[in-house]
Structure 1
């Protein structure tokens, strides 16, 4: 059931790219700290999507009023949730606010807490730091 589409093929319109990146920024900024790993992951994904600083400035400037944009495509939903979980685990800590946002997203796309928790376990390859 694994589909081998690239991130560029899944997020193939400017609207999908910006919505995905908006969702990532919301989770990355949830703990009010953007650490190096999170920043690097954002830059990597932004670059893969072909987003420019001019594309992203409206998101950054309006961060306090942004909310999740839920995609319609099932593959896109799953890929986004996996990437959101990866973002939350990037600093080695799972902050309450990050978890709450991921759970909100998971529930809005029709997944439950158990699916989210399973994804978190998959990304928890090393010891979590306190």
Structure 2
């Protein structure tokens, strides 16, 4: 995953941080269940981003209305896809809905299914 420095550099506005967090939540709840590992992962990412509960509550309250927000920068797109895959791997079970959302994101940023599968293979080993 990206280093802390590049994480902070890429997500250098509150809007970028909230968009990234929204993308993560969408994948986390794709299987209609948020387990402890996924919840902890979200909390840790939220802390790293400096987001408060006040910042993130509107996202959680409006989930059915939300969709992916695709970043403009290439490096940010890659880092987000890696983090989305990490979210999917949190509970040790890759749900079809989670996988398909990651695939949708990957395709929207110009990556193939093979690239997504490579990320999953690499990140599941770590």
TM-score, normalised relative to structure 2: 0.94
The Cα of 1:91 is off from its aligned counterpart by: 0.2
Matches of 1:82 and 1:17, distance apart in 2: 15
Matches of 1:111 and 1:95, distance apart in 2: 20
Paired residue secondary structure (1:71): coil
Paired residue secondary structure (1:6): helix
Matches of 1:101 and 1:36, distance apart in 2: 20
The Cα of 1:4 is off from its aligned counterpart by: 7.7
Q: Does 1:24 align with 2:43?
A: no
Which residue in the other structure is 2:122 paired with? Answer: 122
The unaligned stretches of length 5 or more in structure 1 are: none
RMSD: 1.6
The unaligned stretches of length 5 or more in structure 2 are: none
Write 1 or 2 for the structure with the bigger share of helix: 2
Q: How does 1:56-75 map to 2 (within 5 A)?
A: 56-75=56-75
CA 1:3/1:50 → structure 2, altered by over 3 Å: closer, same or farther?
Answer: closer
Which residue in the other structure is 2:40 paired with? Answer: 40
TM-score, normalised relative to structure 1: 0.92
Q: Deviations over 1:39-76 (max 9, x none)?
A: 11100000000000010011000001100000000010
Q: Does 1:83 align with 2:83?
A: yes
How many residues are matched?
125
Matches of 1:44 and 1:3, distance apart in 2: 15
Matches of 2:3 and 2:57, distance apart in 1: 32
Runs (4 or more) in structure 1 with deviation over 6 Å come to none
